[in-house]
Amino acid sequence: MRLNSLFVALYSKSIIYKFSRARGEIAKDMIGIRNSRIGMALNVMAVAMLVAGLLVGLAIGFGVGTVGGGGERVVTVTVGGVGGGERVVTVERTVTVTVGGAATPVKLSGKIVIDGSSTVYPLTEAAAEEFMKLHRDVHITVGISGTGGGFKRFVIGETDINDASRPILKSEAETAAKNGIEWIEVPVAIDGLVVVVNPQNDWVDCITISELREIWKPDSKITRWNQIRPEWPDAPIKLYGAGPDSGTFDYFTERVVGKTKASRTDYVASEDDNVLAEGVAAEKYALGYFGYAYYHENPGRLKALKVKDDAVPGAQCVEPNDDTVSRFVYPLSRPLFIYVNKKMWNEKPALREFVIFYVENGARFAKKVGYTPMPADYYKVAAALLRAGMLDGLYGLTTVVLKNAGPH
């Protein structure tokens, strides 16, 4: 039985979910970004336990088609003490689902306006194209103005959805609050931010976080390859990177340089990752960074470097691929999001159905455009909770935390 059908089967019941998750001590605390294999494993375990808890709840008395026998039922799901020192976080929600007889199909129509991250764009575009084929009277526009540029529009109510390659910042959240804008935060996939060079580059296969910091910090004096390592060519280095309105820029500068938006400015900057990919592909001595999907779309035209987090004792050079990115072993792994205007969610049936469709098919869309899906159970649970009206807390299923992130 599909998970979301369980919610429909509950009819006029009020269900309290007490979802306790153990979050392991984070293995790394590097520039505010914490990547933990233990944390990811516990999250996957937590999702599995939540599914199990719902099934138990169904078995103990939530019968399909049964409206009588009112009262509240409590389903408690606990993932506890794996090793010593874990911090247990308890999340409690109350959800009321009411189904009054047979559902009447609703013909969807209207316009959905989306803007934001060029990194998330391929995912959202794929979802929008399929949804519009199913619902011919729904028109969806998807723009690319970067995560920050998109949030500038989103926090004043100009858009229904903002694609984001990082969580909303505190300053953006404060502006939204002043304007009365509430949002639903939905993780949709995992991305590895790749550092790329031209395929003719035969002198580097792995680069360290420290070396990237020296290249990209605001006062960097590096203009030639041999200034990074003396054995590398005495040739000018041409840099390509995300523009200042990009969430990729925010993530990279915080993770690598150590401060959000702190970067040298003498490089080719763009919020469009296609522009960056084309530039590196055309220049032998180029180096750039952007989302994994754009590397995936250019086989043979770009060379992705392994990355070593040299601040971690015993760290190795790690190649970006689905396995290393999904387990957050690759040092530049990050979750991707969509932010949905909560008022518009309540007022636009087409928007609600689009977001749920997006999440239900999230794993397929991620694979289609070259990103790494969240664990399969995440999409099932997230879609079911959205249908049931549980709109908050989905960020808790991810493990990457940015120190500048706003409330979740």
Cα–Cα distance, 297 to 277 (Å, whole number): 9
Cα–Cα distance, 253 to 242 (Å, whole number): 10
Amino acid at 270: S
Q: What is the CB neighbour count within 10 angstroms for residue 103?
A: 8
Measured in degrees and rounded to the nearest 5, phi and psi for residue 203 equal -110, -10
Q: Measuring CA to CA, which residue among 110, 173, 118, 123 is closest to residue 147? A: 118
Enter the CATH code of domain 110-190+334-373+389-397.
3.40.190.10
In this prediction, residue 378 carries a pLDDT of 85
Q: Measuring CA to CA, which residue among 395, 390, 398, 397 is closest to residue 407? A: 395
Instruction: Report helix angle 376-387 to 362-369, nearest 10.
Output: 130
Please state, for a pLDDT cut of 90, what percent of the chain lies above it. 50
Strands 206-208, 110-116: pairing is unpaired
Range list for CATH 3.40.190.10 in the chain: 110-190+334-373+389-397, 192-332
* pLDDT > 90? residue 65: no
Name the class of domain 192-332: alpha beta
**What mean pLDDT value characterizes the chain?**
77
Q: Measuring CA to CA, which residue among 9, 8, 1 is closest to residue 62? A: 9
pLDDT confidence tier of residue 15, bands split at 50, 70 and 90 = very low
Cα–Cα distance, 216 to 245 (Å, whole number): 17
In this prediction, residue 211 carries a pLDDT of 97
In this prediction, residue 377 carries a pLDDT of 81
Cα–Cα distance, 110 to 141 (Å, whole number): 11
pLDDT tens, 290-306?
988 788 888 789 999 99
pLDDT confidence tier of residue 105, bands split at 50, 70 and 90 = low
Mean pLDDT of 181-191: 94
In this prediction, residue 118 carries a pLDDT of 86
* pLDDT > 80? residue 81: no
pLDDT confidence tier of residue 397, bands split at 50, 70 and 90 = low
Q: Is the C-alpha dihedral spanning 284, 286, 290, 292 positive or negative?
A: positive
pLDDT tens, 133-164?
999 999 999 999 989 999 999 999 999 999 99
In this prediction, residue 191 carries a pLDDT of 85
Would you say 346 and 335 are in contact if contact means Cβ atoms under 8 Å apart? no
pLDDT tens, 293-350?
788 888 789 999 999 999 999 999 999 988 888 888 999 998 899 999 999 999 999 9
Highest-pLDDT range among 16-25, 91-100, 219-228, 363-372: 219-228
Please, which residues have CB within 8 angstroms of residue 243's CB and are 6 or more apart in sequence?
146, 249, 269, 270, 271
Please, which residues have CB within 8 angstroms of residue 144's CB and are 6 or more apart in sequence?
115, 116, 117, 118, 121, 271, 272
Would you say 33 and 331 are in contact if contact means Cβ atoms under 8 Å apart? no
Mean pLDDT of 33-39: 37
Strands 206-208, 286-291: pairing is unpaired
Q: Measuring CA to CA, which residue among 162, 114, 112 is closest to residue 137? A: 112
